[in-house]
Amino acid sequence: MIKEYGSDFHYLAECPEIKGKKFLEDYLGKDYQLHFSGRTALYSLIKNGIENLGWKRICFPEYFCHGVIDYIRRLDIDVLYYNDGPYVAEFDSSQFAAFDTADTAIFIVNYFGCQKTKVLNVEKAVVIEDHTHNPVSAWALRSSADFCIASLRKTMPIPAGGLLWSPKRKQLPVNVGDERSFVNSCFFMNLSAMVLKAEYLNGGNVAKQDFRDLFIESESMYSDIRIQGPLPEFGFRMINYVPVNSLIETKTRNLKLLQELIDVDFETVQGYQIDEVPLGLIILNESKEIRDRLRAYLAARNIYTAVLWPNQPTAQGRDFSDSMLLLHVDIRYDANDIAYMAKTLQHWAQSDLFKSEIQNATISL
């Protein structure tokens, strides 16, 4: 058996057999619409807003995945920015006074899935919330926004899946696009990669590059406009079989254990709720150079981290993006795996080569 940590999910065949609450049936419990991805859900919503509700502009936070924003720019709508990011200590709702018009949509992000609820004092503007990093947070489940979206594959072991719902019970748009052949190709290519990765990790006759090529090719299809379309039926069944309570319990347990095992002071990122479960363990370093060296050190030991998100347009955003790493501690890992991650970070901290760097880092929950 091969042990690797992080990166794309492999196929977890045991998920349908795990008893527990189901996401769509037991957690969401309201009208919803499934899309191929979070970005296609957002695109469908904004397209409907332009054509039927008179939307003329949408306001995004400065710190976000700009690949998604570029995808939305294909629509005939002005894209504006406001100040927000995981580095912002207090969410400033007063900045939206100039945007509070009926032709404006404001997009709000729960960074890493455990921020405090962000309240907008707007009367006319439409509020859209992104709960990708924790679709079952208290904020998500008790939201009072006009609309909410989530890209489910970021937290669930599925090849694709985007969710759109309206806490205010507003009418959801028709799922635009019907490129079933292209959509199915992307979905089942990603699923094939997940299955091959599972076989690789189990010691099967699969080369790592076999599934990596499929992951890379399917990921490139996400920026294609033809990806607008309904999620395949098998995708719906996979989402409904995801044992959400097991995902939450495992991640909570793993984060707690990792915190206990690492002999480094933990600090919280601004605005975090300590009773929520973040997307993963976030390590903040003093510089991009130090971050990149730590990332390479971990990768050499089969621990693959993520950066959310590179290529930020503002100096403050770049400073945060260039310093952060995200370690995955989800349902794929048990106590032995977490102990290995902790031991690897401890070795980094105790190494003469890296000792000065780790002292300039903070590890955040």
Helix, strand and coil percent figures for the chain, each rounded to 5: 45, 15, 40
Of the candidates 34, 114, 124, the residue with the CA atom closest to the CA atom of residue 364:
114
Average pLDDT estimate for 86-112: 96
Share of the chain above pLDDT 90, in %: 73
* pLDDT for residue 16 is more than 60: no
Mean local confidence (pLDDT), 338-352: 88
**pLDDT tens, 318-339?**
999 999 999 999 999 999 999 9
Q: What is the arithmetic mean of pLDDT over 104-112?
A: 97
pLDDT at 117: 95
Residue 226 CB-density burial (10 A; 0-12 exposed, 13-18 middle, 19+ buried): middle
284 close to 324: Cβ distance less than 8 angstroms:
yes
User: What pLDDT score was predicted for residue 167?
Assistant: 94
Domain with CATH 3.90.1150.10 in the chain: 244-364
Q: Which CATH architecture has domain 18-165?
A: 3-Layer(aba) Sandwich (3.40)
Residue 275's pLDDT is: 80
pLDDT tier, 23 (very low <50, low <70, confident <90, very high otherwise):
confident
- Summary count for the chain: helices (H), strands (E): 11, 13
Give residue 148's pLDDT.
97
CA dihedral 184→186→188→190, nearest 10 degrees, is -160
The three-state secondary structure class of 147 is strand
pLDDT tens for 162-221 read 999 999 999 999 776 778 899 999 999 999 999 999 999 999 999 999 999 999 999 999
Left, alpha or beta for 10 (phi > 0: left; psi -120 to 50: alpha)? Answer: beta
pLDDT at 27 > cutoff 70: no
Per-residue pLDDT tens over the stretch 270-301 = 557 778 889 999 988 888 998 999 999 999 99
**pLDDT score recorded for residue 135:** 93
Where do we find the tokens 């990603």? 190
The CATH homologous superfamily to which domain 244-364 belongs is Aspartate Aminotransferase, domain 1 (3.90.1150.10)
The pLDDT assigned to 104 comes to: 98
In the chain, which segments carry CATH 3.40.640.10?
Answer: 18-165
More confident residue, 21 or 16: 21
**Separation CA 365–CA 348 (nearest Å):** 19
- Put residue 6 in one of left, alpha, beta given phi > 0 → left and psi -120 to 50 → alpha: left
Residue 358: is its pLDDT beyond 50?
A: no
Residue found under tokens 């254990």: 257
C-alpha torsion 179→183→186→192, nearest 10:
-130
**Alpha carbons 345 and 294: distance in angstroms, whole number:** 9
